[in-house]
Amino acid sequence: MPANLKLGINLGFAINKYVEPHVWTKIVAEDMGLKYVQFVADLLNVFLPEEVVKEQVHLINENTAKYGLEITSTFTSAFTRVNHFMHPDAAMRKVWLDWFKKFAQISTEMGAKSTGSHFGILTFANYDDPKRREYIIEEGLKHWKELSWHCRDLGMEFLMFEPMSIPREMANTVADTKELLERLNDGAGLPFKICLDVGHAPHPNDRDPYRWVRELGKDSPIIHIQQTELNHSRHWPFTEEYNKVGIVLGEPLLEAIEASGAEEAELIFEIGHREAWGSEFKIIQDHVDSVNYWRQFVKA
């Protein structure tokens, strides 16, 4: 039976551009014609005062309900791409554990069944010292597992980490990703899954995005999709211009998902636009064109 696939959007496109809940919900629902949303922490960082967070969650829920949107998951984003549970300082690791617990709480209040991030980031000092590197990785595992039990109590279904582009950021090969997934699930309160990104295939031996999906798609209920070229993670839109030079196309990606044995997946647009005259005013149209391209392959 073919995998049950859905199209959705990562809200990274809205950071500092469409931050108002009544604005981004209308864009996603009416302009893009999408229903499923991956909310990002940079739109509502839980370091903010509690009363501010509470009011924003209320506005988000009010507007997602108005437009029939579902926030199915939450994730960190550009401004929260920091060391987290692999920070060299123990006090900072504890701060980020508390942060993730708060983020998980508001995620469930918005309806999300999962949250996630990159696993963590090693500093060069810790990466270059094998003994220290393994200690910090163990710290990352410990903190993620503690978070998993907290998320279980909140009613979440699973947690995710995203394979990244360099060894310091973890899981930059298929083999390393499988090993990390196994270590995370040993003693976890909830299942750990993967959030694949078709552009994160940077290692010289692992640059085929379809191989990543074939081997890991079954464990990746959410897949970030972007148009890109070999050896890069461009986060281009799926427009006619970029589809001519890009390597991520509908039919081979769906074939890879089928080959993985996945039963379902959300294909989540993660398209980036730099602050430049050539791209600033094309954000919404590029997303509309990208959705139109993928509607040939995914109806939901």
299 confidence band (pLDDT: 50, 70, 90): confident
What pLDDT, on the 0 to 100 scale, is given for residue 231?
Answer: 81
Which DSSP helix (H) or strand (E) runs through 153?
A: helix 130-154
- Residue 26: name the closest of 213, 252, 18 by CA: 18
Domain count, the chain: 1
Alpha-carbon distance of 56 to 52, in angstroms, equals 6
pLDDT in tens, 39-48: 999 999 999 9
pLDDT in tens, 66-80: 999 999 999 999 999
State the CATH number of the domain containing residue 179.
3.20.20.150
Residue 184 and residue 123 in contact, taking contact as beta carbons nearer than 8 Å: no
What pLDDT, on the 0 to 100 scale, is given for residue 261?
Answer: 97
pLDDT in tens, 176-235: 999 999 999 999 999 999 999 998 866 677 889 999 999 999 999 999 999 999 888 899
Percent of the chain with pLDDT over 90: 91
Q: Which segments within 52-135 are labelled E, that is strand?
A: 70-75, 114-117
Its domain, for residue 168, covers: 4-296
Residue 62 has pLDDT above 90, yes or no: yes
Residue 172 has pLDDT above 80, yes or no: yes
- Residues 6 or more apart whose CB falls under 8 angstroms from that of 248 comprise 198, 199, 209, 225, 226, 227, 228, 238
